[in-house]
Amino acid sequence: MKLLLNASTLALVATLISSPAFAQQSTSKVVAASNIDWGYLNPLRGDKSPGAADLWGNRTTDTATGMLVRFKKGFESPPHIHNITYRGIVIEGQMHNDDPAAEKMWMPAGSFWTQPAGENHTTAANGKTNLIYLEIDSGPYLVKPTKEQFDNSERPLNLHKDNIVWLSDSDLNDINVDGVKSTYVWGSTANMNGSMIKLPAGFKGEVTTNASEFRAVVIAGAVNYNSSEQNKAQSLSAGSYVESTGRFTHSLENNSDKPATIYIRTNSKYQVN
């Protein structure tokens, strides 16, 4: 039996297939910290530069980007500015980021800060090893001299991990598992935003999302990760990265005796079940 389609029907089928509902496929990507390829934040300075690795995006182009940056103990930058605003989360070590005249305020792992574009500042590291997740909403990421400083009306934020308020439930997302906590760190619940979730020891569950952009970075602890696109579970330590597009389920298990903290950047609500 043959199915005959006229020109109008073919046009309708083509329209449906090309519509967003049909075009958006569920896809994912997983990058374990042990498999990250490292370069330099400023290649011209060689090993005097902090190490850097893009987890997503491209820090040298005009696009949003999330990257890891690592600093040697004793690192301290000269006063400088950036052309764009960035956000930082400490993964390991102790970091300071403030006005050049400010006393050192060392932020340990789990702390969060923002650095407005154009504002003069220095960055220093005091741990034996120091690692941060750094995120920009547009690029390229450039370092410029203080003589080019300007006021973009934003103000910096330094949030020590001990001052972060963790909630057992939230208007931002649906948390349906006892012991799971969340905190909201930037953005709007109606648009792109950033939050962190803390999974207790022994957690075994799922994070489900239908977002067109979902990006997650392990900040503390470690989790076993699995999904429909994985052949087997992977162990993801701090600095590991997961992303997905469309309706997707991320299966997570915390087999350690310590909580695991995960930062999530997304443009839609997600559920923890």
Domains of the chain, with CATH numbers? 36-162 (2.60.120.10), 165-272 (2.60.120.10)
Task: Specify the pLDDT at position 169.
Answer: 78
Give 27-62 pLDDT, tens digit per residue. Answer: 999 999 999 999 998 887 777 789 999 999 999 999
103 touches 93 (CB < 8 A) = no
| pLDDT score of 132 | 98
CA 219-55-222 angle, to 5 degrees, is 30
Res 5: pLDDT: 46
Q: What is the pLDDT of residue 9?
A: 43
What is the Cβ-side half-sphere exposure of residue 22, based on CA atoms within 13 angstroms? 7
Question: Which pLDDT score, from 0 to 100, does residue 10 have?
Answer: 42
- The pTM of the full predicted model, rounded to 2 decimals, is 0.89
What parts of the chain have a pLDDT lower than 70? 1-24
Of residues 134, 226, 236, 220, the one with CA closest to residue 183: 220
For 69-99, what is each residue's pLDDT tens digit? 999 999 999 999 999 999 999 999 999 999 9
Q: What percent of the chain has pLDDT over 70?
A: 91
pLDDT at residue 171, as a whole number = 78
What 3 state SS string does the chain have? CCCCCCHHHHHHHHHHHHCHHHHCCCEEEEECHHHCCCEECCHHHHHHCCEEEEEECCCCCCCCEEEEEEEECCCECCCEEECCCEEEEEEECEEEEECCCCCCCCEECCCEEEECCCCCEEEEECCCEEEEEEEECCCCCCEECHHHCCCCCCCCEEECHHHCCCECCCCCCEECCCCCEEEEEEECCCCCEEEEEEECCCCEEEEEECCCCEEEEEEECEEEEECCCCCCCEEEECCCEEEEECCEEEEEECCCCCCEEEEEEECCCEEEC
How high is the pLDDT of residue 72? Answer: 94
The predicted structure's pLDDT at residue 7: 46
- pLDDT at position 43 is 81
